[in-house]
Amino acid sequence: MADGLDAEAYDALVTAAETYRAALVVRLAGEAGLRTGEITRVAPRHLREAEGDADLALLAVPTDGTGTESGAAGRAEPEGAPRDRSGIDRETPVPASLAAELRRYAESAGLDESEPFVDVSARRVQMIVSETAERAAARTDGLVAPDVTPGDLRRTFARRLLVDRGVDPHAVREAGGWETMGTLDGYLGPLDGRAIAAAVAGDRTGGDRSTAGTAPTALGGFEALAAPDGRTAPLAAVPDGLIEADRWAEAWVVRGVDDRDRAEVAGAAGVDREALVDAVPADGPWRDAVADGEAVAFDGSAATGDRPGVAAPVRYRDATHGALCAVAADDAPVSPSERREVAALGRCLGWAVTARRWRDLLHSDAVTEVEFHTVDDEAFLARTSAALGCRIELSSTVAVTDDASRFYLSVDGARPQGVADAIDGAPGVSDLRAIETREEGCSVSVRVEGGSAVRTLTEHGATVRDAVAEDGRVRVVADLPAGADVRPVADGFRAAFADARLASKESVPRSPRSEDSLREGVADRFTDRQWAALSAAYHGGYFDWPRGSTAEEVADAMDVSSPTFHNHLRKAQRRLLDELFEDGRRARRPGQERPGQE
C-alpha cells in the first residue's frame, strides 16, 4: 500500500528540524532514500555532480562491510541487503539544494573528505527523526504524525519519484537499493490498454510533467550570502538577492517583534526602507515566525499591500536575529516549496549574522565588553549555586554537536555528588562527569543543550570571557565587536531569562599578551572539530598524569567514536607542533646555527 508523507507534511517535518544536522538527516532519508545506517556512512567524497543536469547531484552509498542492514526501529522494511560493488552499494540522485547544503555543512564543520556528514550511531539517527517528528506534530496540529520513522521517509522518497514525478520504477528501485519491485507495487496503479500501448510505443502519458513553477525562488539570497567581497552586511545583502527572482517584489528583515509597537527594519529591498518602518507593525506574521521558530506563509496584510508572502525566523541555534520576509509580486499564494526555501535561507542568514560577529570580534583592536546578571532559576548555574551555597566558575566550553556543548566547571564548596544531585532534572543539562576532587571543591563537566546564560550569549555572536555563579546569581562578562549594536543581544538574553539585566557596557582596547599571540597564531590552523577535540582533552584532564579522563571517556563526552576523537586530536597536535617548530625555523636567519651547535 502506498504511504509516506505528502509534500506539505514533509516540508513541515524538515522545517521542524532544530539543527542543521537534524535537517540533513531528514533530507538524506526523504530525498536521497538512504537507510538509517547509510546516513551515518556517507561523506563528502561520495558526492559528485550529475553530468548534464544542474538540478541533480549523485551520492554514492557505501556498504556497511557486513552485507546486512537493519530496518527502522519498530517497522522493518521488506527489502534485501545492499549489494557490494567494491565498497559502494549504489548511487542515488539528490536535489542540487541538498547537495549544496551537504557541502556547506562539510565546510563549516571542517570535515575531511572521508569523514561522515552525520557522525553518530544509527540509533541516534532514529532518535533525531523521532524527535523532529514529535516537534512537527505539535506545531502542525496533526499534519505530521509524531511516530514518523526513517523507513517512512524512504517511502516518501519512493512516493515522490513514482507518484509525483512519474520516474521509471526500475530507476527508483536502483536509487533506493530495493532488491525487488515488491516494495514499490503500492505506488504503481493499474494501466489500461491505451496507456500500455503508449508506453510500449515510447510515448509518455499521464499529463504534462513540465518543470514550470519549480525553479528556485530564493537562489539570489543564497548567492548574496556567498558573495566573495563580504562588504555588505548579510541582513542587507539577502533582501537584495531575493528580489532578483521575479517571484518576489519586496524582501526585508525585521527585528524587535517581541515587545514593541513597531518593528525595526534591519534591511530592505524593493521598497523604501523609511516608508516600511512606518508601515510594518511588530504584531504580524513575522512575529509568529519568530515565536514559533518556523516559516509562516500568509495571504496578505496592510504592510504588504494585501499581497501574499512568507516570513521565516533568522535563527542560529537558540539565537533569533529577526525575521526574513518575502512579498510576492502577484496574488499567487506561497507554495510549500517556496516556504521551505525561504525557511532554509533564514537559517543560513542566522548563521551568517553570528559568524560575521565572530569574525569582527576576532579582527577587532577594541571590543565592547558587556556584563549581564541573572538570578533566573532557568539558568542552571544560578539554581545549582543557590541550592549548594557554592561558587561555580566556568573554565571552558566545547561544542560537541550542533545543539549541545560540554561545560567544564570549577566548583568551590561542593563535591561532585552534590553538584550531580543539584542539577538532576535541570532542563537540557545531563551527563555530569567528575574530573578532579579537591579538599574544598571539585572540577566537573556537564553536557548542556539549554538553560544556559553562556550558550545564549555565544549563539548571539559574543565571546564569553568570564562566567561565575554564586549564591544563586550568575554574572557573565562577554565581548562583542567594537561598535556592535548591543540591543539585539540584550533582547535575546532577556527572552531566555526574563529577569536578566545588562549591568554594564564599556568599550575597551584589547591588551595583547604573549599567550594570546601564540593562540591567535595557531587558531586558524585548526578545524572546529580539531579545536573541540584538543579543548575537550585538555580540560578533561587527558594530558594530566595520572589522567583525569581516558581517550574513550573524552570521546564519549564529545558524542563521537574513539577513532574519530583520536583522528582529530592527532591532527590538532600535529598542527600545534608545526606552528612551534616551523615558526622557529622561519625565525632563524640563514647561516644561523642551532642552539648548542658548534
**pLDDT tens digit sequence for 120-131:** 888 899 999 999
Tell me the C-alpha distance between 538 and 435, whole Å. Answer: 11
Give the tens place of pLDDT for each residue, 22-32: 999 999 999 99
Give the mean pLDDT of the chain.
Answer: 79
Task: Report which of 277, 270, 234 is spatially closest to residue 254, judged by C-alpha positions.
Answer: 277
The predicted pLDDT at position 71 comes to 36
Given a cut of 80, whether residue 257 has pLDDT beyond it is no
> Exposed e or buried b for every residue in 303-321, given b needs 16+ CB within 10 A?
bbeebbbbbbbbbbbbbbb
Q: Hey, which CATH number is domain 219-362, 3.40.630.30, 3.40.640.10, 3.30.450.40, 3.30.390.10?
A: 3.30.450.40
Given a cut of 60, whether residue 82 has pLDDT beyond it is no
How many C-beta atoms surround the C-beta of residue 481 within 10 A? 21
The predicted pLDDT at position 140 comes to 82
- Residue 593: CA count within 13 A, CB half-sphere: 4
The predicted pLDDT at position 513 comes to 46
- Diameter of the chain measured on Cα atoms: 97
The predicted pLDDT at position 116 comes to 93
Mean pLDDT of 406-419: 93
**In degrees rounded to 5, what are phi and psi of residue 320?**
-110, 125
Phi-psi region of 323 (alpha: psi -120 to 50; beta: other; left: phi over 0): beta
Give the tens place of pLDDT for each residue, 292-307: 788 888 887 777 778 8
Range of lowest pLDDT (65-74, 187-196, 319-328): 65-74
Tell me the C-alpha distance between 75 and 377, whole Å. Answer: 41
Give CATH 1.10.10 domain extents, the chain.
Answer: 512-590
The helix (run of H) or strand (run of E) holding residue 464 is strand 463-470
Tell me the C-alpha distance between 462 and 446, whole Å. Answer: 21
Provide the H-helix boundaries in 364-507. 380-388, 416-423, 453-459, 486-496
Dig out the grid coordinates for 144 from the structure.
505530521
Tell me the C-alpha distance between 573 and 555, whole Å. Answer: 16
Given a cut of 70, whether residue 243 has pLDDT beyond it is yes
**In degrees rounded to 5, what are phi and psi of residue 62?**
-75, 150
**In degrees rounded to 5, what are phi and psi of residue 250?**
-140, 155
Mean pLDDT of 268-279: 79
Give CATH 3.30.450.40 domain extents, the chain.
Answer: 219-362
Task: Report which of 74, 1, 81 is spatially closest to residue 35, judged by C-alpha positions.
Answer: 81
Contact 20, 159 (CB under 8 A): no
Given a cut of 80, whether residue 370 has pLDDT beyond it is yes
Among 75-84, 477-486, 533-542, the range with the most confident prediction by mean pLDDT is 533-542
Q: 263 or 246: whose pLDDT is higher?
A: 246
Q: Give, in words, the CATH class of 512-590.
A: mainly alpha
How many C-beta atoms surround the C-beta of residue 16 within 10 A? 23
Given a cut of 80, whether residue 133 has pLDDT beyond it is yes
CATH architecture of 7-193: Orthogonal Bundle (1.10)
Give the tens place of pLDDT for each residue, 197-237: 655 665 443 443 333 345 678 888 898 887 755 567 888 88
Tell me the C-alpha distance between 278 and 315, whole Å. Answer: 25
Give the tens place of pLDDT for each residue, 559-585: 888 888 888 888 888 888 877 766 544
Give CATH 1.10.443.10 domain extents, the chain.
Answer: 7-193
Tell me the C-alpha distance between 21 and 403, whole Å. Answer: 9
The predicted pLDDT at position 31 comes to 94
Mean pLDDT of 551-560: 84
Q: 250 or 527: whose pLDDT is higher?
A: 250
Range of lowest pLDDT (89-103, 112-126, 144-158, 476-490): 476-490
Tell me the C-alpha distance between 537 and 571, whole Å. Answer: 13
Q: 291 or 12: whose pLDDT is higher?
A: 12
Q: What percent of the chain has pLDDT over 90?
A: 21
> Exposed e or buried b for every residue in 343-352, given b needs 16+ CB within 10 A?
bbbbbbbbbb
The predicted pLDDT at position 261 comes to 58
Given a cut of 60, whether residue 518 has pLDDT beyond it is no
Tell me the C-alpha distance between 310 and 300, whole Å. Answer: 9
Q: 312 or 204: whose pLDDT is higher?
A: 312
The helix (run of H) or strand (run of E) holding residue 563 is helix 562-587
Mean pLDDT of 380-391: 92
Range of lowest pLDDT (372-376, 433-437, 502-506, 519-523): 519-523
